[in-house]
Amino acid sequence: MMEMYPRGGRVILHVDMNSFYASVEAAYDSSLKGKPLAIAGNVEERRGIIVTCSYEARKFGVKTAMPLWEAKKLCPELIVKKPNFERYRAASIGMFEILRQYSELVEPVSIDEGYLDITESTGFESPMKLVETIQKRILEQLDLPCSIGVAPNKFLAKMASNMKKPMGITILRKRDIKNVLWPMDIEQMHGVGSKTAEKLRNLNIHKIGDLANGNEVQIRSLLGINGTRLIERANGVDLRRVDPDAVSDFKSIGNSTTLPKDTTNQLELFRVIEKLSEKVSVRLKNKQVLATTISITIRYKDRKTFTRSKKLENPLSGKEEIAEFSKKLFLKHWTGDAVRLLGITGTDLVEQKEAVKQLDLFSFEKDAKKEPLINAMQKLREKYGDSIIEHANNRPLKKENHTIGTDTSFNKDFLRNFNDKEK
């Protein structure tokens, strides 16, 4: 079998479950199979949005993140189900248990997708036979369809898995990049969002091939180090390994909510910010991290959405601090028009024990008074370990309730406890 693998290279799979939530519901209730089905939060309210939908619903133009009222207008026969997170979690654990039977190198990316390095896997006639077996087993044992991308690295595997849905298997080799990858629109490239695509189009970069052959100095000046990374990806270069421990990495923690009605009332908007800040604070403390940057997202009545962020002088996780900073950031960028959605995100996260507070003229006096206590705590930790004493604010808080529409955290929180499969 090893003769089937590239010499000195890797064979990486990206397994992507097709319409995962809807597929799980159809597997649970076979009467839903073959019908236009959507999973949506807040079904009775205007702010209900489509979380995912079956391929039968997509034929009518129903899409993820579409308002429920609009989806029903496009498809009057649409069946709408509320999300059942425990059901999805159980299905996801089952899927990853199957993947782990073929390789120890399994890296979950979200509840419904992950990478698998099968380079060292043995016992099959060829890598393709192994891929076909994995797809077949997930379908037969869980009654769930998936698409699989096969490539020498994670980026190409991710791009490949998107090419045939549902139930597709796509191989994307480096020699295929010029003919397969480069003709694709820049928006189709993994890692390029709508705003980045707009910036690249201003540089006359419309295709992935344009990016691959673009001026690195010019692109880097526009996008920073991410520009260099995107050029490498467009040329098929991705040195990241499949890392089973990556599920514990956090890049951002955020929550957003669509308001029951569009409003320009500042007090109402401030109350929403306070509630969002509390949710973000709970999740930061549960993960025992602090944010060094706060971002606020504002969506107006006309659906135009703006996200603005600002670096903090000191890392934080408290709800009052997050709310105060978010309100200032909101007022600075709010146009005064009616707001439809608000979101708050903490980014550039650091672990609590690694966070170093930068004292300034305003905080020095207050922190100086705490210095004897801080020194005593430090001596205890040095003698008995980091966990011997904790600040009450640093202790993990109670388990969160997850809902769609008001709380968009389920995927990331699932990953946090992924290795504790029985929880």
For residue 379, the model assigns a pLDDT of 54
CB atoms within 10 A of CB 419: 12
For residue 186, the model assigns a pLDDT of 97
- The domains found in the chain, sorted by start residue, are 1-163 (3.30.70.270), 177-234 (1.10.150.20), 250-358+390-416 (3.30.1490.100)
Q: Nearest-5° angle of CA 296, CA 302, CA 308? A: 20
Task: Tell which phi-psi region holds residue 201, choosing left (phi > 0), alpha (psi between -120 and 50) or beta.
Answer: alpha
For residue 176, the model assigns a pLDDT of 94
For residue 396, the model assigns a pLDDT of 52
Q: Are 346 and 291 in contact (CB under 8 A)?
A: yes
Long-range contact pairs involving 225-230 (C-beta distance under 8 Å, separation at least 24): 226/196, 229/191, 230/189, 230/191, 230/192, 230/196
Q: Are 32 and 46 in contact (CB under 8 A)?
A: no
- Is 16 annotated to bind ligand? yes
- C-alpha dist (Å) from residue 229 to 48, 194, 217, 239: 37, 17, 12, 11
**Partners of residue 169 on adjacent β-strands:** 148
Taken as a whole, the chain contains a residue count of 423
- The conformation of residue 400, written as its DSSP 8-state character, comes to P
Catalytic residue flag (residue 113): yes
For residue 43, the model assigns a pLDDT of 64
> What's the token pair of residue 149?
């991308």
> What's the token pair of residue 409?
């955290």
Q: Which of 7, 51, 15, 56 is nearest to 36 (CA)?
A: 56
Point out the catalytic residue in the list 3, 97, 113, 320.
Answer: 113
Q: Which of 83, 124, 79, 73 is nearest to 101 (CA)?
A: 124
User: CB-side exposure of 361: number of CA atoms within 13 Å?
Assistant: 0
Q: Are 326 and 309 in contact (CB under 8 A)?
A: no
Angle in degrees, 0-180, between the axes of helices 20-28 and 85-100, rounded to the nearest 10: 100
Reduced to 3 states, what is the DSSP secondary structure of residue 339?
strand
- Is 143 annotated to bind ligand? no
Q: How far apart are CA 301 and CA 259, in angstroms?
A: 11
Q: Are 216 and 236 in contact (CB under 8 A)?
A: no
Exposed/middle/buried for residue 356 (C-beta within 10 Å: 0-12, 13-18, 19+): exposed
Name residues whose C-beta falls within 8 Å of residue 73's C-beta, 6 or more positions apart in sequence.
Answer: none
Reduced to 3 states, what is the DSSP secondary structure of residue 237?
coil
pTM of the complete model:
0.64
Q: How far apart are CA 390 and CA 393, in angstroms?
A: 8
Q: Are 378 and 289 in contact (CB under 8 A)?
A: no
Q: Which of 320, 418, 420 is nearest to 107 (CA)?
A: 418
CB atoms within 10 A of CB 189: 23
Tokens 């966070």, located at residue: 355
Q: How far apart are CA 280 and CA 413, in angstroms?
A: 12
For residue 311, the model assigns a pLDDT of 84
- The conformation of residue 278, written as its DSSP 8-state character, comes to H
Beta-strand runs (E) in 118-192? 146-151, 169-171
Q: Are 357 and 317 in contact (CB under 8 A)?
A: no
> What's the token pair of residue 226?
């991410």
Name residues whose C-beta falls within 8 Å of residue 351's C-beta, 6 or more positions apart in sequence.
Answer: 288, 289, 290
pLDDT in tens, the chain (423 residues): 444 455 668 999 999 999 999 999 999 999 999 999 999 877 665 568 898 999 999 999 999 889 999 999 999 999 999 888 888 988 998 999 999 989 989 998 888 999 999 988 866 667 888 999 999 999 999 999 999 999 999 999 999 999 999 999 999 999 999 999 999 999 999 999 888 999 999 999 999 999 999 999 999 999 998 999 999 999 999 999 998 877 555 567 888 888 989 999 999 999 999 999 999 999 888 878 888 889 899 989 887 888 888 888 778 888 999 999 999 999 999 999 999 999 998 887 777 655 544 333 334 344 444 445 545 555 555 455 544 445 544 455 544 444 334 344 455 455 555 554 433
- The conformation of residue 153, written as its DSSP 8-state character, comes to S
